[in-house]
Structure 1
Amino acid sequence: YRLNIRERDRNRKRKARQRLNLISSKEQAPESSGARRKEGLRRRRVYLARLRHRIKYLTKISHVQKAKIKRLQQKLLKEKQNNQRLTNLIKSNNKISGYSVTGMDNNEIRSNDDDNRMENITVKDLFFNNLSPNAKQRAKARIAEQKDQLPRGLNRSLRTELGLNVSNPAHVTQDEPSNLKNLVINFMIRDDISKISPDVKKMINGTSIRYWLHNLNILHEQFEAETGTSIAYSTLSSYVPVYVKKPNLSDWGTCLCAFCLNPQIKLEKLIRAGKLLDIDADLCYIINDITKINNLTTQLNKLKSQSENITYIEWQKERLPNHKAPLSKKNYCSSTLKDFVSKFLTEIDVQHVQRIKSQFSAFKQARLDALNLPEIAAIQIDWSESFILKQAREERSAYYNTQNVSTNSGYIWTKSYSYGFGALSDNTCHSAEATWASIQNLLIKLVKEKNVKNFILITDSTVAQYCNKTIFYLIALFAKTFEIEFKWIYLESGHGKGTPDAIGAVIKKAMADAIAYNPDETFKDAKDLLKGIENRVNFK
């Protein structure tokens, strides 16, 4: 019994050992196959890398060979061109000299001794060798007559080296505009469709710029309704002249003189409404011509008999609660046509326009006299708006305690030199005393250093600043002291803008830049600002 048990245990252990060996063999089989697979992949990678390297090497060699072949082809082409050029030069020389080289091929030409001497000849040498000293013009004419027989490419050489153009002139054809385009152009330049720019210097191709009075979509519909023509919007926009443009708010200029602007607005209103016929749209041109004034007055008197209402725009001065001086505002007004015409006739001030014309004529003559005569100096001055002195990085509470700096700027014309100047002050008073204090040192310098005997002052007609008894007394005292003469030209109200305003704007811009670019500095008053802008502006 014990022997059987031992035998059974040995058999059990043997079977267990066999099972373990079987399991281990199964586990080792995948590992060996995976190793073989990895080895195969590694060999393939090495083989592919060798192939890629070989392909790159062969490709590089092919590129080098192609580049060499291309260079050789270009060199061969240049040699052929040189040979052809020399052949053409020899043929042209023989033709101009009266000899013929027909029947000779390239090999015979190269072998000829005379041709060897012609290899280095240029077109310029060829041209002058066939000219006598007294017949250069006739030689040019002969070459021009033989242009049909000259070899190809020689015309370009004659033109570049000798400036002789024997080619046929090119005929430029100009297509005439179509009838539809003419209709669009005539429609767009009508006074009720577009208006000429107030600035006469704004021009395109020598034509004054005009601005639309309506949106282009509305003008498109109006064009189709009036002409009965069906036209696409894109076609109409392409036919609009380049000098007829869409306006911006700043294109209409600035309202400076209500005496001139209000009658002009009324005139344009009547023209757009079709009440006036064959009348110029610019009131200044009408006032300068007696015939046009009479024609306008006649048509306006006829309109008084019509009973209808009209709405128009007018610049009016109004006093606001928080403002001392009245402000100009554009308001809508409505009245009968009779009252409108009567008001229009009363606003047409012929003397106002004539005064403006005479004042600017005198201004122009004063500048010319100052530029031509050494003893005359013309000075135009004007006060600019006060500059608000704000410190960089200032607190919000500093806004309620602002400091203003006043600027009296101007420009002086003399024969030796002309320049702009400006006077800064912490006092914002623009009275006659302040005006005289700002220009007194300049006048003394001109009298003592430049020996100026006649001064011509040009200003606007502001009563508080220039046109009062105080300034007259100060000028008379100065003239009596230095034995000089003064002439004062007062410009009409609303027409005093000029060079001093531009100089004042430059000075204020320089002061603002000085504060902005130096945030760590303190500008207490006008003296500090003057030191900060000395190197920024080229004024006195």
Structure 2
Amino acid sequence: MVRTKDVNTLVTEIVCDETNKSCMYRECTQCKDKVPNFDYTNDNGEQVKWFEWKTRREEIVDKGNDRSRTVTKTVKDQDQGTREVLASEINAEMQKACRHIFNIRNQYKALKYLRSNLTHEEIMVHIDFSENYACKYSDEIQSMHFGGSRNQLSLHTGVIYLRDEVIPICTVSDFLRHDPAGIWAHLTPILKYVTEDRNLTSIHFISDGPTTQYRNKNNIYLWGHKIAEYGFKKSTWNFLEAAHGKGAADGVGAAVKRAADQQVILKKNDITCAKDFYQLLSGGTSTSTVKMFLVEENELKKVDAELPSDLRPIPSTMKIHQMIIEGPDSFATKVVSCFCKHPTTLLCDCYQPDTHQLPPRKLPADDEGKQLKQATEETSKVKTSMVEKASSIQNYMCVAFLKTCAVY
């Protein structure tokens, strides 16, 4: 049917220009109807078989409590049909593949350009959650391996890119939440660290795009309001395409886990909580060069208190690969990243950007109370001033009236 196993060769056959978004998104009037060169030699209409990955939902019954529940399974299923049907299936998948390949290539190209052209006032932060670390003792009894005996730690890893410096980073916590509140609890010590002795005005985030973590309305809200707390006037958030492969943040996660295991196995130290992990890897006995940060649960509670409960989702969130802030009240979104006018401006007209308004910031309860008290005090002062002025005017009018009477 198809003369090659290389998907890139198939893409070349059906598009005019692999660097053009219209072509790769199958919107080009010249090539949107092109299909791969299928081989129909010796086709006599017989049935052919092929394998296809499919996702299906199934009902299963838990052993022990006889309760049924629905699960999602990915299976390699066998289909059959005529060669025309198979060709139609391949063509439909190629429509998705072209868009997917363009997104991967464009994101890497744009972010590589940004990394090579960072100014001294800019910072780029590549972040990702590593798989939770399972706590370990240097000596363990057999029952330690079963049940819920082994605690887990949350690791948020990444790399900070400055103009002339690269800093691998890792934050560790006992709480295991990977939602937007957890993300910004982990980012708080990092942003404090990078802005402590540096005059930075722009920050660029790079991350995966899962909707439960980085690409959702809560993270957009926190990003839009939090960056100003640390003095940043401009920012972008760039999402990598799904299935893009491993990145620098994944390497940092592997490095800190291996360093932690060495502390347990070779130096006979126990790691039972986030504090142990942090102290052993940031202390003098560790050979790790990763900058470590400990995140307490109170940071998570602070971020939770800042999140409104009535945020509206951004339309077509899953298609967004870049978000841009250049002002205090709004942000722009694009289907892919572009820095063609960097460093003059972060927002260009490429890829038809959409503009959105940032929701007003919700103040924590303590700040709301302080603001209300301040407003009450100011109102009281105004009322007192008005009373004093009225009394002064009244006294003046009385004196003027008495003088007038004395004249007559």
- What TM bracket, shorter-length normalisation? 0.5 to 0.7
Q: Is the 8 A contact 1:303 1:338 kept in 2?
A: no
Partner of 1:450: 198
Partner of 1:518: 267
Question: Superposed, which structure 2 residues align to 1:81-480 within 5 Å?
Answer: 270-271=1-2, 276=3, 281-288=5-12, 290=15, 297=35, 299-300=37-38, 306-317=44-55, 326=72, 328-348=74-94, 349=96, 350-370=98-118, 373-399=119-145, 400=147, 401-480=149-228
3-state SS of paired residue (1:410): strand
3-state SS of paired residue (2:260): helix
* Aligned residue identity for 2:107: Q
Q: Is the 8 A contact 1:376 1:455 kept in 2?
A: yes
Q: Which has the larger radius of gyration?
A: 1
Q: CA offset at residue 504 of structure 1?
A: 0.4
Q: Where do 5+ consecutive residues of structure 1 fail to align? A: 1-269
3-state SS of paired residue (1:316): strand
Cα 1:518–1:301, aligned 2, differ >3 Å: closer, same or farther? same
* Aligned residue identity for 1:506: A
Structure 2 Cα separation of the partners of residues 529 and 474 of structure 1:
28
3-state SS of paired residue (2:117): helix
Q: CA offset at residue 473 of structure 1?
A: 1.6
Structure 2 Cα separation of the partners of residues 453 and 301 of structure 1:
57
Is residue 2:275 matched to residue 1:527?
Answer: yes
Q: Deviations over 1:326-353 (max 9, x none)?
A: 4544444444322221111111122222
Structure 2 Cα separation of the partners of residues 454 and 337 of structure 1:
54
Structure 2 Cα separation of the partners of residues 351 and 381 of structure 1:
24
Q: Deviations over 1:35-79 (max 9, x none)?
A: xxxxxxxxxxxxxxxxxxxxxxxxxxxxxxxxxxxxxxxxxxxxx
Q: Is the 8 A contact 1:303 1:337 kept in 2?
A: no
Structure 2 Cα separation of the partners of residues 422 and 458 of structure 1:
15
Q: CA offset at residue 296 of structure 1?
A: 7.2
Structure 2 Cα separation of the partners of residues 336 and 425 of structure 1:
55
Q: Is the 8 A contact 2:55 2:73 kept in 1?
A: yes
3-state SS of paired residue (1:407): strand
Q: Deviations over 1:405-447 (max 9, x none)?
A: 1211111111131121111112222111111111222123323
Bigger strand share: 2
Q: Is the 8 A contact 2:36 2:91 kept in 1?
A: no
Cα 1:536–1:490, aligned 2, differ >3 Å: closer, same or farther? same
Q: CA offset at residue 308 of structure 1?
A: 2.5
Partner of 1:501: 250
Q: Deviations over 1:85-112 (max 9, x none)?
A: xxxxxxxxxxxxxxxxxxxxxxxxxxxx
Q: CA offset at residue 531 of structure 1?
A: 1.7
Cα 1:529–1:448, aligned 2, differ >3 Å: closer, same or farther? closer
Q: CA offset at residue 311 of structure 1?
A: 2.9
Structure 1 Cα separation of the partners of residues 177 and 79 of structure 2:
37
Q: Where do 5+ consecutive residues of structure 2 fail to align? A: 18-30, 63-68, 292-408
Cα 1:488–1:390, aligned 2, differ >3 Å: closer, same or farther? same
3-state SS of paired residue (1:518): coil
* Aligned residue identity for 2:255: V
Cα 1:445–1:324, aligned 2, differ >3 Å: closer, same or farther? farther
Q: Is the 8 A contact 2:200 2:232 kept in 1?
A: no
Q: Is the 8 A contact 1:304 1:341 kept in 2?
A: no
Q: Is the 8 A contact 1:388 1:405 kept in 2?
A: yes
3-state SS of paired residue (1:299): coil
* Aligned residue identity for 1:505: A
3-state SS of paired residue (2:128): strand
Cα 1:377–1:342, aligned 2, differ >3 Å: closer, same or farther? same
Structure 2 Cα separation of the partners of residues 462 and 415 of structure 1:
29
3-state SS of paired residue (1:448): coil
Q: Is the 8 A contact 1:306 1:338 kept in 2?
A: no
Q: CA offset at residue 466 of structure 1?
A: 0.4
Cα 1:288–1:333, aligned 2, differ >3 Å: closer, same or farther? same
Structure 2 Cα separation of the partners of residues 325 and 516 of structure 1:
38
Bigger helix share: 1
Larger RCO (alpha carbons 8 Å, 6+ apart): 2
Structure 2 Cα separation of the partners of residues 533 and 319 of structure 1:
43
Q: Aligned pairs, how many?
A: 261
Q: Deviations over 1:381-413 (max 9, x none)?
A: 111111111323212222222211121111111
Structure 2 Cα separation of the partners of residues 281 and 423 of structure 1:
42
Q: Is the 8 A contact 1:306 1:337 kept in 2?
A: no
Q: Is the 8 A contact 2:152 2:174 kept in 1?
A: yes
3-state SS of paired residue (1:493): coil
Instruction: Give the fraction of aligned pairs with identical amino acids, expressed as a percent.
Output: 22
Q: Is the 8 A contact 1:305 1:338 kept in 2?
A: no
